[in-house]
Amino acid sequence: MSGSRWFRDTERNDIQNELTGWPAGPVFTPHKTGDQTARRAGRGFLTAIPVIANIVANIGGAVGSPFGGVSGRGEPEEPENEVQDFPVLWAAPGALARTVPWQLDPGRRPDGYSTDLVLTNRRLLFLGTRTGASDQAEVLGEFPLEYVAEARQMTFSEISADARITFADQSWIRLFTGNPTSAEKLAGILCGNLEALPESALTEAQKQRVSRFVSHLRGAAHPPVYIKLPSGIVLVEVPTRSKTGKGVFSTSTILMDASGEAAEPAPGDL
């Protein structure tokens, strides 16, 4: 289903014309099950999010950049949703997934427009911008975190960069995050396997290590983001401005233990 996406109710009816406020979008025709193309999942799902924005514990995050970039595809986990059909929105009438912003669909949003996802300790927000700069972004939609029941990385995509967010009413959306690490991190934080920390939660030694780390970076664009991994070590991420273009960022990272010393990730951390 490379490049194709559908908006379904629980009876697999096409509902894109029922979504309130959504402009007309492209129409896709399912391939036959035996077609080689139908056995592939590709880019261009509900949202072509270029980054998972800085995920923070107590404030809205700012735009960052993906890192890594592992190629390859996984095996389909749900053939009915990844081979015979490829829904990116699954929602009964009145369900929460029907209220996500239409700008998430790359076939509907204006040229040059991009979307980002930001988590705070209370909300999940969708942002949109023409410049790529978070300080110029508009809030397209938001959901209290208690409305999110589950999140998981969906590996059946070209770079395993999909994440599916299921709301409390069992409606869901499938997002393309741009990077497998971003998809894994988003799912981990929403499911509670990873913990976003405020700076106040760091030890004094960790704060000193971060201060030294940031002082050596050029073009730091936003404050560091702190994520506690399952083993207890802390991942520190700092978005820095890239020379490749306006509004483009790279991400510098370190891993540290409670004493602020460099640490190696344990199995299951990353």
189 and 201 housed in the same domain = no
Length of the chain as a residue count? 270
267 occurs within a structural domain: no
Segment among 35-49, 56-70, 109-123 with least mean pLDDT? 56-70
88 and 170 housed in the same domain = yes
Give mean pLDDT, residues 120-145: 86
127 and 166 housed in the same domain = yes
Strand partners, 190: none
Segment among 10-14, 50-54, 70-74, 216-220 with least mean pLDDT? 50-54
46 and 105 housed in the same domain = yes
Backbone angles phi, psi at 91, to 5 degrees: -160, 130
Which of 193 and 242 is assigned the larger pLDDT?
193
- Reply yes or no on whether the pLDDT at 39 is more than 60: no
Give the structural domain span for 15.
Answer: 6-193
Give mean pLDDT, residues 118-133: 84
- Reply yes or no on whether the pLDDT at 8 is more than 80: yes
- Reply yes or no on whether the pLDDT at 62 is more than 60: no
Q: What is the pLDDT of residue 96?
A: 97
| Residue from 155, 145, 165 nearest 47 by CA | 165
Task: For residue 78, give the amino acid letter.
Answer: E
Give 11's pLDDT tier (boundaries 50, 70, 90): very high
* Chosen domain end from 149, 169, 193: 193
Q: Are 8 and 85 in contact (CB under 8 A)?
A: yes
Mean pLDDT of the chain: 80
Single pTM value for the model: 0.76
Q: Which range has highest mean pLDDT (35-39, 80-84, 101-105, 239-243)?
A: 101-105
Q: What separation in angstroms does the CA of 6 have from each of 15, 18, 94?
A: 8, 13, 18
Q: Are 163 and 152 in contact (CB under 8 A)?
A: yes
Q: How many CA atoms lie within 13 A of 154 on its CB side?
A: 30
221 occurs within a structural domain: yes
Q: Would you list the DSSP string of 47-84?
A: -B-S-BPP--SSS-----------------S-HHHHTS
- For residues 41 and 263, what is the distance between their CA atoms, to the nearest angstrom? 36
pLDDT tens digits along 161-215: 899 999 999 999 999 988 888 888 899 999 888 998 999 999 999 999 999 999 9
Give the torsion through C-alpha atoms of 65, 157, 162, 99, to 10 deg. Answer: 120
112 and 235 housed in the same domain = no
Q: What is the pLDDT of residue 221?
A: 62
| Residue from 91, 113, 115, 118 nearest 189 by CA | 118
- What H or E segment, with its residue span, contains residue 209? helix 204-215
Task: Report the Cα 144 to chain-centroid distance in Å.
Answer: 16
114 and 223 housed in the same domain = no
* Chosen domain end from 144, 174, 193: 193
Give 247's pLDDT tier (boundaries 50, 70, 90): low
Give mean pLDDT, residues 111-119: 88
Number of domains composing the chain: 2
